[in-house]
Structure 1
Amino acid sequence: MTYTSTTSEILEQMGAAGARLDHLAAVEAGAGNISVACKKQPEGVEEIFPVVGELELPVAVPELAGWTVFVTGSGCRLREIKDRPKEIVSAVIPDATGRRAVWRRAPQATFTKPTSEFNSHLGVHADQVARRKVEHHVLVHGQPPYLTLLSHLPELSNDKAYNEAIFRWEAETIIQVPTGVKFLPFMIPGGEELGQANIAGLRKHTMTIWAKHGLMVRSDISPMDAVDKVEYLEAGATYYYRHRLLGENAGGGLTKEELRGVVTAFNIDTTLV
């Protein structure tokens, strides 16, 4: 697989993803964060991020030694990456111990540290590298309103119920996200407990739902590929919400038999139906 080769292209992709998340109302104010981990350093890192410092990492990630991790800054608005990427994104290059890193920023940087959820990003990147030997990995955290709203409902607070609620409205959903989502109960944002649960959840799933908070989604391709998954599932959550407003007699979506037909027709590897 061919990955984006230049820093400018990666920043452009992060900007497009941030703008789309904003259109989905998934990143209010400074909420949400994006990171892109690259085994091979993309062209242009030193030119675009000439200010060099040192950073103590929130978790030890020797698996990422020598990698370049592009990450959004704490408190930054993702919708502004598109127009002002140098103010919002930096490049983190972990050393051999995985405990410290070279931190490259642009002179225009408006933040003093990476996102407060950098521990979750680093932990998942490192775990995916160790387990799947990926050489390019993307993570996006956002708070899409309908997916997040559904995570507040006690009757949907488990994998089976949550997935059934959102996967039965469009045939495309199970095709695009065949592994479904892993539902995580509420844990303190940025804490070690959430970080570890998120790592485990993303081993078998491409998306975790952080109850009463938001989600994290991963991609081996690009930030927009990750956001596409969010968009598919947010559509499913929106259908479920509208169905609840209309009442249970309004129709229940695709039946299990119909979903199995879709899975068979498109040869989808899934355990959801």
Structure 2
Amino acid sequence: MGTIKLPNEVQKELNNVSKVAGYLWQREWAERNAGNISINLTSFFSKEEVKGIGTEVPFDFPKGAAGFVIYITGTGCYLRDLIDKIEEASCILYINEDATAYSIIWGGKREGFGPTCELISHASIHLFNSINHPENLAVVHTHPLELICMSHHELFNDEEELNRQLWMMCPEIKVFVPKGIHCTPYALSSTEPLAKVTIEAFKTRNISLWEKHGATATAPDVEKAWDFLDVANKGAKLLMMCWAAGFKPAGLSNKQLTELEQFT
């Protein structure tokens, strides 16, 4: 069991995790044990603080992730439990200096606890971000209803057009999700191929829409990641509402969308 004392900044991040988990549950985006959340907390701890705590569990991480300290949710855990049982449903783990094992230094206070089966994806994304987008410390994966529906639509095969149609629904979507979403081809959960296609998405976007599965966002913190997902899904919801009402939305014009770029 972890015994490390958490810095105030880390405790604040965990409080935000609990808040965002509540949002996801209320939206019906986190059924049963669906979804997972992680944060790269390496900068908040010294190596002396994290070494020697807990028992090492063998795991084959990307070599560059050696020494990382990561907050992550647990396998089989329900995101709704993060609201008031965060130490049972998640943990902070330390990846050893050889990237061959991890030890839990905080949380995981549930019998048989283990990190999410998407651990390889999260570790790989955090390694990519640390090199290419070091400001992005948080990763949130969830199941936004309308975005998932869009991943079954033919528009999913035309990423640029899908983004244009989402942006044109209202100005805020263009302003607050300026990079749009990436239409990420299907890959099996809990595998390296899924990590690879998600990293490819994050080269140009903040949101990876996993085909017929869900969406993953990366941002400086969990609230900003939630905001990306929330706003993008609003675009999908508005678009589908218009279709359901039997009409094609007029949408913002290309000129109007270009004018909004000054606010992004």
Same topology, TM > 0.5: yes
2:252 corresponds to which of 228, 251, 254: 254
Q: Residues 99, 240 of structure 1: CA spacing in aligned structure 2 closer, same or farther, 3 A cutoff?
A: same
Of 4-13 and 228-237, deviating more is 4-13
**Structure 1: which amino acid aligns with 2:195?**
G
Partner of 1:271: none
Check if 1:68 corresponds to 2:66. Answer: no
Cα drift, residue 38 of structure 1 = 1.6
- Percent of residue pairs identical: 22
**Structure 2: which amino acid aligns with 1:145?**
L
Aligned residues: 255
| Residues in 2 aligned to 1:117 and 1:260: alpha-carbon distance in whole angstroms | 38
Report 1:49-88 matches (<5 A).
52-60=54-62, 62-88=63-89
2:16 corresponds to which of 3, 13, 17: 13
- Preserved CA contact (<8 Å) 2:75 2:115: yes
Report 1:70-219 matches (<5 A).
70-106=71-107, 108-132=109-133, 134=134, 137-219=137-219
- Preserved CA contact (<8 Å) 1:75 1:111: no
- Preserved CA contact (<8 Å) 2:185 2:197: no
Cα drift, residue 152 of structure 1 = 0.7
Q: Residues 35, 193 of structure 1: CA spacing in aligned structure 2 closer, same or farther, 3 A cutoff?
A: same
- Preserved CA contact (<8 Å) 1:5 1:42: no
Partner of 1:239: 238
SS where residue 113 of structure 1 aligns? coil
Per-residue deviation, residues 173-227 of structure 1 (Å, max 9, x unmatched): 111111111101211111221111111111221110001000110012x111110
Q: Residues 135, 207 of structure 1: CA spacing in aligned structure 2 closer, same or farther, 3 A cutoff?
A: closer
| Residues in 2 aligned to 1:86 and 1:95: alpha-carbon distance in whole angstroms | 22
Q: Residues 172, 187 of structure 1: CA spacing in aligned structure 2 closer, same or farther, 3 A cutoff?
A: same
- Preserved CA contact (<8 Å) 1:138 1:226: yes
- Preserved CA contact (<8 Å) 1:170 1:236: yes
RMSD: 2.3
- Preserved CA contact (<8 Å) 1:34 1:138: yes
**Structure 2: which amino acid aligns with 1:31?**
A
| Residues in 1 aligned to 2:182 and 2:83: alpha-carbon distance in whole angstroms | 30
Moved beyond 4 Å, runs of 4+:
none
Partner of 1:41: 44
| Residues in 1 aligned to 2:98 and 2:60: alpha-carbon distance in whole angstroms | 13
2:35 corresponds to which of 32, 56, 59: 32
Q: Residues 42, 23 of structure 1: CA spacing in aligned structure 2 closer, same or farther, 3 A cutoff?
A: farther
Q: Where do 5+ consecutive residues of structure 1 fail to align?
A: 269-273
- Preserved CA contact (<8 Å) 1:156 1:162: yes
- Preserved CA contact (<8 Å) 2:38 2:70: yes
Per-residue deviation, residues 24-52 of structure 1 (Å, max 9, x unmatched): 21111110000010222359xx89xx971
TM-score, normalized by length of structure 2? 0.88
**Structure 2: which amino acid aligns with 1:259?**
L
SS where residue 35 of structure 1 aligns? strand
Partner of 2:3: none
TM-score, normalized by length of structure 1? 0.86
Q: Where do 5+ consecutive residues of structure 2 fail to align?
A: 1-6
Cα drift, residue 9 of structure 1 = 1.9
